[in-house]
């Protein structure tokens, strides 16, 4: 890599995805950070707290609905529904600001009053039941699917960390060598068309490419210590440039509330605080854009990368418990949980391992065994799109929601949160909100997969995108046509 780049910096925190990026890839130490505190919740308290959170969410949803309707529908006045894109008043061309709030599970927007996020929702277009992540529902695969419109096997980032089986090279969340990152991310598509892009953090954005050299001042090198306020200010400052120099595509990334979600699970008051703080950042952004007279001209797309679900030690499956059927040495295991990925040595039949593991898991003699099912990757449900890459290990295990896999029993007694599960679980969904000239006010659209976002953004910017896994007609169903 070019020498003017900083040394590898910390990486977004991710549950078993390493507090420290230098941890050996094949290590089976899945100790979460020491901040995980033991909890002694009984089933009953969990049940009641779930009941309570559900109840609160419903009440919150109803009160927001009431607020929304009472503020937009005045007696005797129908709300004005736009049917075509708004003409720009200040900016000379469309601009897209893509914001990611990591681990923003769908439904978090009802945890607390979030007036700024709700302003975007009420005056914009929302995926009514959330945005569907790609499988595996992890940070790096998902952010790069959003950026490229490709399912993970086609963009190459098949996990937050993995080994290339041919070279033996290890990918970690601080690997910026171009060889890992396939496909064409939005910042490159934009610059390829002679337009300007700016990235305030996004997995893959620091990687140099044919049409993207990660320019100083427009491509921030990842540093999780940069206060959120500074990130918002930098983005706002781009709008002070002469109008033809303002980047037409910008990214903005926040690590929260994923960070808190891993430590305390999705239902803790810590999450509520983190959500409120993200809302404040959105408020700061809106205010700054309004002061510059461009808020209504900018297309803001706010998303998350995946959801979050609570995990507790009671829901564990130990690979060593399978020993009577088959031994799984830890050095075959590339990832434990929630995506169990196993690469046995080439002389060993993967099909045989899968059969023996499933026999053990279904025998009724392995604790929680029926909550894990093993597959040869080519036998995984095709809706997961998780087969077409030599980087994906041959054996993949699918876990029931909330369960975890470990090598062997330990004394750990933590409850926290995780993601990475099957993207069909509702808890893995995140948010999609579009606000701006091309988005209808108050519109709800059905849930869709995040690989559609690439085409949505190239449509707004009027540029031709690279081939991808989104559908061509998708943009027509979400964006307003030009006037
Ligand atoms: C919603 O957008 C319209 C312009 O399309 C604007 O007049 C109105 O003030 C906005 N409402 C809010 C709550 O921002
Ligand atoms: C990361 O950001 C913090 C806060 O802005 C700063 O103090 C620190 O020097 C930065 N680290 C690097 C390696 O740039
Ligand atoms: C996804 O897109 C890539 C690039 O166009 C293509 O090679 C691949 O076949 C597509 N896969 C699916 C499942 O559509
Ligand atoms: Zn994430």
Tell me which residue has its CA closest to atom 11 in ligand 1: 123
Residue 469 Cβ < 6 Å to ligand 3: yes
Q: Where are the domains of the chain?
A: 95-310+424-477, 314-412
Burial group, residue 270, by CB count within 10 angstroms (0-12, 13-18, 19+): middle
Give the model's pLDDT for residue 78: 54
**Chain centre distance of CA 271:** 16
Across residues 278-298, what is the average pLDDT?
98
CATH 3.40.720.10 applies to domain 95-310+424-477: yes
Crossing angle, helix 269-291 and helix 228-238, to 10 degrees? 20
Give the model's pLDDT for residue 243: 92
Ligand closest to Cα of 119 equals: 1
Distance separating alpha carbons of residues 402 and 121, to the nearest angstrom:
29
139 tagged catalytic: yes
Most confident range, picked from 98-107, 305-314, 414-423: 98-107
Residue 423 Cβ < 6 Å to ligand 3: no
Residue 467 Cβ < 6 Å to ligand 3: yes
| pLDDT per residue as tens digits for the range 230-260 | 999 999 999 999 999 999 999 999 999 999 9
Mutate to test the pocket of ligand 1, among 88, 121, 441 (most ligand atoms within 8 A of CB): 441
Q: Ligand 2 centroid to 224 CA: how many Å?
A: 8
The pTM (predicted TM-score) of the whole model is 0.86
CATH number for region 314-412: 3.30.1360.180
Q: Which residues line ligand 2 (CB under 6 A)?
A: 6, 9, 223, 225-226
Give me the percent of the chain exceeding a pLDDT of 70.
Answer: 83
Q: Ligand 1 centroid to 240 CA: how many Å?
A: 23
CB neighbours of 284 closer than 8 A, spacing ≥ 6? 229, 232
Closest CA to 16 of 8, 6, 7, 27: 27
> Residues 432, 452: contact at Cβ < 8 Å?
no
Task: Please identify which of the residues 114, 125, 137, 139 carries the catalytic annotation.
Answer: 139
| pLDDT per residue as tens digits for the range 181-215 | 999 999 999 999 999 999 999 999 999 999 999 99
Question: Where residue 413 falls among pLDDT bands split at 50, 70, 90?
Answer: low
Ligand closest to Cα of 297 equals: 1
């Amino acid at each position: 890599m070019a020498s003017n780049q900083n040394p590898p910096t910390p990486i977004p925190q991710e549950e078993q995805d390493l507090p420290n990026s230098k941890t050996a890839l094949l290590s089976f130490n899945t100790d979460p950070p020491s901040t995980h505190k033991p909890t002694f919740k009984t089933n009953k308290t969990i049940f009641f707290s779930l009941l309570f959170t559900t109840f609160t969410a419903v009440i919150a949803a109803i009160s927001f609905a009431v607020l929304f309707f009472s503020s937009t529908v005045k007696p005797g006045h129908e709300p004005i529904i736009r049917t075509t894109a708004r003409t720009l008043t200040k900016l000379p061309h469309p601009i897209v600001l893509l914001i990611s709030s990591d681990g923003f599970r769908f439904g978090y927007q009802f945890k607390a009053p979030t007036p700024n996020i709700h302003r975007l929702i009420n005056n914009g277009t929302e995926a009514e039941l959330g945005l569907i992540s790609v499988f595996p529902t992890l940070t790096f695969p998902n952010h790069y699917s959003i950026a490229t419109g490709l399912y993970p096997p086609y963009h190459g980032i098949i996990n937050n960390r993995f080994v290339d089986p041919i070279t033996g090279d290890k990918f970690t969340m601080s690997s910026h060598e171009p060889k890992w990152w396939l496909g064409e991310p939005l910042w490159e598509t934009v610059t390829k068309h002679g337009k300007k892009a700016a990235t305030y953090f996004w997995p893959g954005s620091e990687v140099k490419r044919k049409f993207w050299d990660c320019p100083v001042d427009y491509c921030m090198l990842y540093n999780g210590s940069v206060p959120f306020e500074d990130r918002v200010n930098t983005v706002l400052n781009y709008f002070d440039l002469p109008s033809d120099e303002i980047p037409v595509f910008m990214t903005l990334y926040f690590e929260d509330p994923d960070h808190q979600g891993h430590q305390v699970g999705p239902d803790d008051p810590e999450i509520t605080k983190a959500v409120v703080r993200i809302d404040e950042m959105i408020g700061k952004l809106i205010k700054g854009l309004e002061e510059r007279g461009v808020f209504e001209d900018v297309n803001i797309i706010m998303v998350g990368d995946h959801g979050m679900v609570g995990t507790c030690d009671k829901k564990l499956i130990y690979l060593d418990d399978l020993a009577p059927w088959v031994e799984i040495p830890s050095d075959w295991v590339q990832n434990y949980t929630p995506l169990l990925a196993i690469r046995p040595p080439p002389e060993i039949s993967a099909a045989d391992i899968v059969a023996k593991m499933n026999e053990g898991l279904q025998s009724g003699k392995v604790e929680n065994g029926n909550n894990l099912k093993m597959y040869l990757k080519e036998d995984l449900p095709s809706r997961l799109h998780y087969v077409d890459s030599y980087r994906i290990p041959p054996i993949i295990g699918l876990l029931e929601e909330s369960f975890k896999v470990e090598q062997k029993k330990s004394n750990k007694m933590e409850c926290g949160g995780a993601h990475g599960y099957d993207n069909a679980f509702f808890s893995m969904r995140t948010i999609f909100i579009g606000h701006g000239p091309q988005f209808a006010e108050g519109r709800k659209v059905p849930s869709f997969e995040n690989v559609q976002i690439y085409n949505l953004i190239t449509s707004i910017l009027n540029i031709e995108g690279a081939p991808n896994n989104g559908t061509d007609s998708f943009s027509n169903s979400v964006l307003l046509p030009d006037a």
